[in-house]
Structure 1
């Protein structure tokens, strides 16, 4: 799966000028019921499933998934996850190739780009059970 994502990233067009920052209603309408894959210009980053009632499931494409939820705060889309209650706030814009996400907790961070909604399931392995 990672090889396929790397190929898709290499073929991804450069983003055109983005539109204005999405509102919570626009973000919800765009993402609801989708699984979106994100990456930087050079590498896959992760995927997120957007569930009803602003719930999400995130993975760094390693088979480990985190449950969370999102909310709007001062025009940003903020996520909190089961393993980290500290809000992760992003601005989202819709470009010609899909969403462009900028991590606002660190504005110097590299933007993430939506690869595509491939209608594919995100791999989430079961809980780790050990002795």
Structure 2
């Protein structure tokens, strides 16, 4: 195995470990739910992505090319931000009952909290 590949794999493991450690610390120490959501999302994508990259480098240096890690990384990079977005969306709308939520607009625009404020203004008028 080449020394350069070992150094790169070790560097990727250290970077992944740092991201995972910082994300875990942020999850414990941050008090607001939206802040707490940000820390593990970064740890999940960058930390685990770096660890998977280290595994790919190590396998390639040993002559056993493995693309399983690449598929896992692609799946992780696609699903983690989407799930974080949906969790944030639920957090925004969690204090409202189904009767308070605005009717979805007819023009295919996403329903947001600003849309709820606009609906409240219409109800007051």
Instruction: Specify the TM-score bucket, using the shorter chain as the normaliser.
Output: under 0.3
Structure number having the greater strand percentage: 1
- RCO (CA 8 Å, sep 6+): is it higher in 1 or 2? 1
TM normalised by structure 2 equals: 0.23
Structure number having the greater helix percentage: 2
TM normalised by structure 1 equals: 0.23
